[in-house]
Amino acid sequence: MGSAIASDAVSDRINSEAVAKVAKLARLSLSDDELLQATHQLSDMLDHFADIDALDLEGVEPMTHPMPIANVMRDDIEQDVLDREEVLSAAPVAEDGRFRVPPILGLDD
Amino acid sequence: MADQKTGDQIPVAATDISWEVRNGVTRAADVLERYLAEIERRDDDVHAFNLVLVDEARARAAEIDDNVVMGRVLGSLAGVPVALKDNMCTRGIPTTCSSRILDGWKPPYDATIVTKLRDAGAVIIGKTNLDEFAMGSSTENSAFGATHNPHDLTRVPGGSSGGSAAAVAAGFAPVSLGSDTGGSIRQPAALCGVVGVKPTYGAVSRLGLIAFASSLDQIGPMANNVADSALLLEAVSGHDPLDSTSIQQGPLEISKQLDWGVAGLRVGRITDLPEGASPDVNERLEVAFDALRAAGAEIVDVEVPAFTYGLTAYYLIAPAEASSNLARYDGVRFGLRIDAPDTNAMYLATRTEGFGDEVKRRIMLGTYALSAGYYDAYYGRALKVRRRIALDFAQAYEKVDVLLTPASPTVAFRMGDKTTDPMSMYLCDTYTIPSNLTGDPGMSVPFGTGESGLPVGVQVLAPALKEDVMFRTAAELERSMS
């Protein structure tokens, strides 16, 4: 396989437009070079993952979890919780007992 | 109080250390100093640790020795130094996942396994290096630099629990804990020549294990021998009401059965196993079958047709879950923040700066597999393949008690060999992935050497909660080598 960048045979499974959209959804910023490289690498992976395309999966129940799981309930009794100061002290910026963030509204308009 | 001991006077096995400390034969402080000296001597070259907890461990060892003097009852890991993969939360102590994005973060709580280790009398000696967020098979994807294989410093230790594997192999700790999402305990164990166990999903609490792929992640032990790995697994397993996926049962019971042998056990050979293992690895696997046959096991051919699709199912499901789990790193609550004029720009700058290339790649792959228009073709189909794999294994286990496969396709490869080609790195997980998808246990046992005299691991697989039979088989393989 070698470096994905060096290969000229690129599949059309995913194009750079789609990768750019995915990066945006995932809140990641890519340079032009990174976008090109990511497109090649994701294409290469999706080519590899095409081995399941031919499988007949009609009627197979999707498996999201290894064990059967159900909601776990507990009695509503008072117990220790995380210490607020300790949690906030691990945050980048906190103020007045809260996480502080940059402005959310009123910048784009 | 026991006389001071050094070096060779101190036992190597965790089972012996614990016995001697509990019985006042050896002091926990002396045990600890032996390992700290070894770390001091060699970890600059190996780089198994992100953080060595010198002061905390010394205080803890002294506390244990005081308890011995006062005649208090101590747990099964009394005075045993344990290295922890740095994706397990330790209250007030940095926990990094080897990522810049958790820069400066100190967890406000302990992982359940940390509490259990403390209750058992263990001494946490340090936090070990990993591929960032446990994504990788070589421990080269760490924000703090790669870990080297103690057997050959030019080679990788495997990953993602490469630091935990190297720590045990280098003699920095008698045992360690790793986490295994697709082979991240078993593959580095194989490459470093130590025992590595991925227990049944839900057997060990995941509370405080920083999530990569929640339906696949599981904590497990790494050790120099099978008995030590059993001891550690027994200490950390058992139901945790704080983990809703934790199995409702007590700790696993394994140690008592290690000497039972394999007479009458049915050991499966998978005839349609995916190709790709190198000749030296296959050769050792054949020797393992012979050893078990000689010890009275019956070798039975079985087919697991969907085994070969595990890689694809895994590399769609795990990134999908990761893309969701890692959405929480947005510069608000933990670690790194890159300042920007508004919240959205801050999210973007923080994540772009904080995550490494492989993590970004998997987040993008997972986001794509889950996105509208592709969900059915990728994530949806992968979930069906996962079911198919589970059904195929269940059928195989009607005919056999355990299965034997390679743990890693090759011995330790050279650093840099696979870093430019992600797909070639992913293929390292071919033989370990299926048991994460099914939730069944698996373990790698060191079984001689292959190319260049490097360690080879044989993998023993068993059905859910059949750790006892899996460990019996592993113990027999170990005995056959001695």
Cβ–Cβ gap A26/B355 under 8 Å: no
Q: Is the Cβ pair B355, A28 closer than 8 Å?
A: yes
Helix, strand, coil fractions of chain B, as percent rounded to 5: 45, 15, 40
What pLDDT is stored for residue A2 in this prediction?
Answer: 38
Positions of B marked catalytic: 85, 160, 184
Interface test with B, best of A28, A57, A82, A98 (most B CBs within 10 A): A28
**Set of chain B residues whose Cβ sits within 8 Å of the Cβ of A14:** 368
The number of C-beta contacts closer than 8 angstroms across A and B is 169
| Nearest CB partner across the interface for B323, out of A26, A51, A71 | A26
List of chain A residues whose C-beta atoms are within 8 Å of the C-beta of residue B387: 60-63
Provide mean pLDDT across the span B5-13.
Answer: 87
∠ CA B231-B237-B242, nearest 5°, is 155
- Strand B123-128 vs strand B49-52: parallel, antiparallel, or unpaired? antiparallel
Q: Please give the Cα distance from B174 to B221 (Å, whole number).
A: 11
CB atoms B334 and A90 under 8 Å = yes
Return the pLDDT at A1. 37
Q: What is the pLDDT of residues B119-163, one digit of tens each?
A: 999 999 999 999 999 999 999 999 999 999 999 999 999 999 999
CB atoms inside a 10 Å sphere around CB B437: 29
pLDDT score of A7: 43
Q: Is A2 on the interface with B (CB under 8 A)?
A: yes
Distance separating alpha carbons of residues B171 and B337, to the nearest angstrom: 37
pLDDT band of B2, cuts 50, 70, 90: confident
Residue whose pair of structure tokens reads 């953080």 in the numeric block? B51
**Taking a contact as any Cβ pair under 8 Å apart, which residues of chain B between 59 and 98 contact chain A?**
none
Confidence of residue A107 (pLDDT cuts 50, 70, 90): low
Q: Which residues are A19's β-sheet partners?
A: none
Mean pLDDT of chain B, nearest integer: 97
The predicted structure's pLDDT at residue A9? 46
Q: What is the pLDDT of residue A69?
A: 76
Q: Where are the beta strands (DSSP E) in B224-322?
A: 266-270, 298-302
Domains and CATH numbers, chain B: 7-248 (3.90.1300.10), 258-312+377-481 (3.90.1300.10)
- A65 to chain B: which residues are within 8 Å by CB? 215, 245
Q: Inter-chain contact B215–A66, Cβ cutoff 8 Å?
A: yes
End-to-end CA gap in chain A: 49
Mean pLDDT of B228-234: 98
Q: How far is CA B168 from CA B152, B163, B228, in A?
A: 15, 9, 11
B473 pLDDT more than 90 = yes
Residues 197-236, chain B, touching A (beta carbon < 8 A): 201-202, 215-216
pLDDT at B198: 98
Among B384, B426, B428, B429, the residue to mutate for chain A (most A Cβ within 10 A): B384
pLDDT surpassing 50 at residue A49:
yes
Distance CA(B22)–CA(B30), nearest Å, equals 14
Share of chain A above pLDDT 90, in %: 70
CB contact under 8 A, A38 and B364: yes
Contacts of B351 in chain A (CB under 8 A): 26-28
Q: Which DSSP category does A61 fall into?
A: P
pLDDT at A76: 92
pLDDT of res. A108 = 56
Task: State whether residue B482 is helix, strand or coil.
Answer: coil
- CB of A4 within 8 Å of a chain B CB? The answer is yes
Segment A46-72 shows an average pLDDT of 92
pLDDT band for A74, please (50, 70, 90 cuts). confident
Mutate to test the interface with B, among A33, A45, A93 (most CBs of B within 10 A): A45
B380-437 pLDDT tens trace: 999 999 999 999 999 999 999 999 999 999 999 999 999 999 989 999 999 999 999 9
Mean pLDDT on B90-105: 97
CB contact under 8 A, B245 and A51: no
Element (H, E) at B178: strand B175-180
Flag whether residue B319 sits within 8 Å of chain A, measured between CB atoms.
no
Alpha-carbon distances, residue A37 vs A3, A44, B369, B420 (angstroms): 10, 11, 18, 11
Chain A residues touching B371 at Cβ < 8 A: 22, 25
Q: With an 8 Å Cβ cutoff, are B368 and A42 in contact?
A: yes
Strands (E), B224-285: 266-270
Is the CB of B367 less than 8 angstroms away from the CB of A38? no
Could you tell me which of B334, B328, B109 has the C-alpha nearest to residue B208? B109
**CA B73 – CA B62 distance, rounded (Å):** 15
Is residue A10 predicted with pLDDT exceeding 80?
A: no
**Residue A4: pLDDT over 50:** no
d(CA B134, CA B139): 9
Three-state SS at B50: strand
pLDDT band at A73 (very low <50, low <70, confident <90, very high): confident
Which has the higher per-residue pLDDT, B464 or A9? B464
For the residues A42-57, what does the mean pLDDT come to? 94
Chain A contact for B328 (CB, 8 A cutoff):
no
Residue A11 has pLDDT above 80, yes or no: no
